[in-house]
A and B are shown apart, each in its own frame.
Chain A
Amino acid sequence: NAGVMQNPRHLVRRRGQEARLRCSPMKGHSHVYWYRQLPEEGLKFMVYLQKENIIDESGMPKERFSAEFPKEGPSILRIQQVVRGDSAAYFCASSQAGGSSYNEQFFGPGTRLTVL
């Protein structure tokens, strides 16, 4: 029973390019969360999605960042026109249902994005 999968594990982009980060939740999980960990900082919530729906995107930067979780396939976090400040580790977590009080979130290994 595979855990949460993220790919790529490491991604290098030049300023202005696009970055696409993928997250496949655990089998049977329909809720996905994206978190960002900037260098020397704690984890911060970005977005919470269910299949085909964005539930809470209060942590997403207003521009250049978008996320989706289609009916089929992985969740995608997309960063357009990357800048050096986007360099961070991006973690995805999934849960069986919503409600952080009742359903544990399981984390993926993260994607480490480096913007040159």
Chain B
Amino acid sequence: KNEVEQSPQNLTAQEGEFITINCSYSVGISALHWLQQHPGGGIVSLFMLSSGKKKHGRLIATINIQEKHSSLHITASHPRDSAVYICAVGSRGGSEKLVFGKGTKLTVNP
């Protein structure tokens, strides 16, 4: 079992829909990151959080430390949101390295 599990693996939505991507992890963490990667492109950090909730524009990230679970929400989705969304965790007490989920490929159709 991977230390970081994401679901769903693939997600197709219509423009305007509310999107939720889930991330579960099995290790004690110091922080959780949500990243965005466009096809053939670089990686952009969306959020880093260790508790509660963060909001940036149409993106919202939440984390439940007790349940070892985080969600990334996109409100009023748009075709330009089409990308791979990656959850990554920094392990508590370990090295500074990140451990990544396999990513969720989101396609938003017009």
Q: Counting CB contacts under 8 A, is B44 at the interface?
A: yes
Chain B window 76-110, contacts with chain A (Cβ cutoff 8 Å), 1 for yes, 0 for no: 00000000001010101001111111110000000
Determine if B96 and A100 form an interchain contact, defined as CB atoms under 8 angstroms apart. yes
Which chain A residue has the least Cβ–Cβ distance from B103? A42
Q: Please count how many residues in chain B sit with their CB below 8 Å of the partner chain's CB atoms.
A: 25
Decide yes or no: A101 and B97 within 8 Å by CB, A41-B102, A107-B45, A110-B43 being known contacts.
Answer: no
Q: Counting CB contacts under 8 A, is A44 at the interface?
A: yes
> Measured between alpha carbons, how far is A108 from B41 in the docked complex, in Å?
10
> Measured between alpha carbons, how far is A48 from B101 in the docked complex, in Å?
19
Determine if A110 and B42 form an interchain contact, defined as CB atoms under 8 angstroms apart. yes
Closest chain-B Cβ to A21's Cβ sits at a distance in Å of 14
Chain A window 15-36, contacts with chain B (Cβ cutoff 8 Å), 1 for yes, 0 for no: 0000000000000000101010
- Residues of B close to A42: CB separation below 8 A: 86, 100-103
Query: Which among B33, B95, B102 is the interface contact of A58 at CB below 8 angstroms?
Result: B95
- Residues of B close to A104: CB separation below 8 A: 33, 45, 48
* A interface residues, Cβ below 8 angstroms from B: 31, 33, 35, 41-45, 48, 55-56, 58-59, 91, 95, 98-102, 104-110
